[in-house]
Amino acid sequence: MFFRKQKQQDENLSVEEKLKLLNDKFEKKRDLTGIAAKVCTVIAVLMSLFHLYASGIHMLPQAQHRAIHLAFALALTFLIYPATSCQKNKLPLYDIAAILFSIFVGGYLVVEYMDLVLRAGDPMTIDLVLGGITIILVLEATRRTMGWPLVIVALSFLAYALFGHFIPGSLGHRQYEISRIVEHLFLTSEGIYGVCIYVTATFVFMFILLGAFLNVTGGAKSFIDLAFALTGKYRGGPAKAAVVASGLMGTISGSSFANVAGTGTFTIPLMKSVGYKNEFAGGVEAASSAGGQIMPPIMGAAAFIMAEMTGVPYGKLIIHAAIPAALYYVSVFIMVDMEAAKLGLSGMTKDKLPRLLTVLKNGGFLLLAPLSIVYMLLAGYSPIKASYMAVLMVIVASFMRKATRLNLKKFMEALEMGAKGALGVIAACAVAGIIVGCVTLTGLGLKFADLIVTLAHGQLYPALFLTMLASIIMGMGMPTTALYIILGSMVAPALVKMNVPIVAAHLFIFYFGCMASVTPPVALSSYLAAAIAKADSVKTALNGLKLASSAFILPFIFALSPQLLLINTTPAKAIIGTGSAILGVVALASCLENYLFGELRIYQRFFIGIAALTLMFPGWSTDIVGLVIIAAISIVKILSNRKKTPDFHTEFEG
C-alpha cells in the first residue's frame, strides 16, 4: 500500500520536480538556507558578472584573471557541495575555513602578481604554504563535484613526481623535493593555473553561461520543440526527436549528463508511449546526449583545450570535426528508425506535436545565438568574443516576446545558474592541471609516448588499438575534459610520431573520452537515462553502447584516412570518402539492429558486418567489396518482401 501511494505521488510530480529529484540522486548538493543561501547567490552572480566584464570590456592579466576565476569556483564549491551526505543541511566550520582560504589565495595571487613574477624560481615560504593549501583545496573540490576516480588519478601522478626516482629504467626520473613540485604546480603556467584553467576562465565559462540564459529564456525548450516539429510525425518520432534535440542541445551544453537531464525528461516518456522498450528509450537518450560533446560548434571544454594544445584555431577545428559528428548522429538515427520498423511503430499525431512555424515564431529567434557562434568563429573572431556576443544576443532577443523576456529575477537566475553549472568543469580542469604539471615536470609524457611506440613495434594499427584501450579504461569514471588533457599530453604524441595528423590524433582520443559516459561499467549518462526511464541500468547501458558503437569505429577511419576531417584532401576525395563512410554507418546499423528491408538471417547479418568494416576503412578495393555485399543482400531482401506482400514499398514510409 505504501509503495503504491509513493508511486502515485511520484506520478503527480511535475517534470521539473522529477528532474530535481534525479539531480539530487546524482549530485549531492547542500540545501542552503538563510544567510548561506544569500551569500551563495551573491558569489555566483558576481562570478558571472566578472566573466561578462572580462570577456566584453576589459580582462586583467591572465595570471590575475585565472586566480580570481578559480577563487570564485572553489568558494562556491565548498558552499554548495558538502563533504559528506550527512552535512547537506549544515555548513561546518572547516568548509567556512576552506571558503576563506580559497578567497585569500586568489587575492594573494592578484595583489602579489608583480612580485611573484620578479621572484620566479625563488619562492618564499608563504608561496609554498599557500601552494600546498591550494593543491589540497583543488583535490577536495574535485572529490566533492566529480567523485574519487579523478582525485585518485591525480594523487597517483603526485606520488610519481615524488617517488618516481625510485623507479628503474626509462620511466624513472631524477629526484624532486616537495617544494619544487609545489612551486611547479602553483606558480608556473604548467600547473593548476595553466592552459586548462585558462580555457575555463575565458570561453568555456561564457558558453556555459550562454546555456543558462537559453534555459531561462526558453531557448533550450525551443530546441526540443523544433526537434519534435521536424521529426515527431515519422515512425518512432519521439526517438528521432531525442536524437535531434540532444544534438542541438549539445551545441550549447557540451555535457552528456546535462543533455540527458535537459531533454530526457521530455523525450524518454514519449518514446515509451509510442512503444519503445524502457531500456531502449534510455539508451537512445544516453547515446544521443553523448554525441553532443563531439558536435560542433561548442563540443565542451575539452575541444577548447584541444585548440590550445594543437595550435589549430577553434574555427578550423570545428570544421575538421563536423563530418564525423554528423556520421555519428546518422548512425544513431538509422538504428532508431530500424528499431521502429521492427516494432511496427508509428509517429505521433499532429495534435500532439508543436507546429514548426509556431516554434520558430515563439522562440526561433533565440536559436540565432548558437548560429552566431558558428558565423563568428568561421569569420575569424576569438571564441571569447563569439561567446560574449552570443550571450548579449540572447539577452537582447529575449525582449522580442513577452514569454521569453528577461526581467531582473530571470537575469539573476541565469547568472547564478551559469556559475553553479561551471563548477564541475572548473574543478576537473584544475585537478587536470596538477596532472599535467606532474607530467611536464617529470617528462612522463614523452616517455609514455615512446613506450606506446615501442609496444606497437612502430606499427600504426597496434598503436591506435593501445591508445583506444588506454582512453576507454582511463575514461571510466573520469570526466571527458580531464581525460582528454591527460591523454592529450601523454598519448597523442605517440600517434603524431607515427605521422597521424595532429588534429586526427587528438580527435581520436577525444572521441573515446566522450564515449566513456556510455561505456559500462561506469556509464553515468546511461544510468541517469535509466533512472528517468525506470529501466534496468545495465540493459540501458548496453543499449546506449550499441547505439553509440559508430563512435568506436569513426576515430580509426579518420586516423587512417584524414580526408574525413577535410585534411590534405580535395573536394572530390572528401565527397567520396564521406559517401562510403555513410554507407558503412548504414551497414553497421543494419548489423547491430539485425534489420535491412526486414530482419536478417544469421549469415546475412555476418556479411553486413563485414561490409560495414570494409566501407568505413579507406581504399577503393574495400569500398567495392562493401558495396557489392550491401547491394546483394538488399536485392535478396527486396525480392523476398515482394513475394510476401504486395505493398512492401511502405517499409520505409515516413
In angstroms, rounded to a whole number, what is the distance separating the alpha carbons of residues 48 and 50?
5
Instruction: Give 110-133 pLDDT, tens digit per residue.
Output: 999 999 988 888 899 999 999 999
pLDDT higher than threshold 50 for residue 8: no
Mean pLDDT for 630-634 is 91
Closest CA to 454 of 497, 506, 511, 501: 497
Per-residue pLDDT at 69? 97
pLDDT higher than threshold 60 for residue 14: no
The DSSP letter of residue 443 is T
Give the start-to-end residue ranges of the domains of the chain. Answer: 570-654
- The least confident of 172-176, 324-328, 434-438, 574-578 is 574-578
Name the more confident of 182 and 618. Answer: 182
Mean pLDDT for 390-413 is 89
Instruction: Give 303-348 pLDDT, tens digit per residue.
Output: 788 888 888 888 888 889 989 998 999 899 899 888 888 888 877 7
Per-residue pLDDT at 251? 61
Residues constituting the chain:
654
Confidence of residue 16 (pLDDT cuts 50, 70, 90): very low
- Helices 537-547 and 524-533: crossing angle, nearest 10°? 120
In angstroms, rounded to a whole number, what is the distance separating the alpha carbons of residues 616 and 649?
28
pLDDT higher than threshold 70 for residue 382: yes
State the number of CA atoms in the 13 A half-sphere of 532 facing the CB: 36
Name the more confident of 141 and 246. Answer: 141
State the number of CA atoms in the 13 A half-sphere of 529 facing the CB: 41
Tell me the longest C-alpha to C-alpha distance in the chain.
Answer: 86
Confidence of residue 653 (pLDDT cuts 50, 70, 90): very low
Per-residue pLDDT at 451? 82
Mean pLDDT for 606-615 is 89
Per-residue pLDDT at 220? 72
Mean pLDDT for 205-212 is 87
Q: How many CB atoms lie within 10 A of CB 365?
A: 19
156: its cell numbers:
597517483
Per-residue pLDDT at 1? 38
pLDDT higher than threshold 80 for residue 20: no
Per-residue pLDDT at 456? 86
Confidence of residue 148 (pLDDT cuts 50, 70, 90): confident
Per-residue pLDDT at 12? 45
Confidence of residue 437 (pLDDT cuts 50, 70, 90): very high
Do the beta carbons of residue 78 and residue 95 sit within 8 Å?
Answer: yes
Per-residue pLDDT at 476? 65
Do the beta carbons of residue 319 and residue 329 sit within 8 Å?
Answer: no
Do the beta carbons of residue 442 and residue 170 sit within 8 Å?
Answer: no
Do the beta carbons of residue 615 and residue 580 sit within 8 Å?
Answer: yes
pLDDT above 90: percentage of residues in the chain: 31
In angstroms, rounded to a whole number, what is the distance separating the alpha carbons of residues 510 and 521?
19
pLDDT above 70: percentage of residues in the chain: 91
Name the more confident of 618 and 229. Answer: 229
Do the beta carbons of residue 505 and residue 454 sit within 8 Å?
Answer: no
Residues 6+ apart with CB under 8 A from 511: 294, 324, 551, 554, 555
Closest CA to 274 of 201, 180, 375, 343: 343
In angstroms, rounded to a whole number, what is the distance separating the alpha carbons of residues 488 and 195?
12
45: its cell numbers:
552572480
The string of DSSP letters for 389-400 reads: HHHHHHHHHGGG
Mean pLDDT for all residues in the chain: 84
Sign of CA dihedral 479, 481, 485, 487: positive
Residue type, 173: H
Reported pTM: 0.79
- The least confident of 292-301, 414-423, 507-516, 643-652 is 643-652
Confidence of residue 10 (pLDDT cuts 50, 70, 90): very low
Per-residue pLDDT at 106? 97
pLDDT higher than threshold 90 for residue 135: yes
Sign of CA dihedral 593, 596, 601, 603: negative
Per-residue pLDDT at 644? 65
Confidence of residue 254 (pLDDT cuts 50, 70, 90): low
Q: Could you report how far apart the first and last alpha carbons of the chain are, in Å?
A: 45
Confidence of residue 9 (pLDDT cuts 50, 70, 90): very low
Per-residue pLDDT at 6? 40
Q: What 3 state SS string does 611-640 have? A: HHHHHHCCCHHHHHHHHHHHHHHHHHHHHH
pLDDT higher than threshold 90 for residue 639: no
Do the beta carbons of residue 81 and residue 29 sit within 8 Å?
Answer: yes
State the number of CA atoms in the 13 A half-sphere of 469 facing the CB: 7
Residues 6+ apart with CB under 8 A from 201: 51, 65, 66, 69, 70
What are the distances in angstroms from CA 399 to CA 365, 388, 405, 562?
10, 18, 5, 45
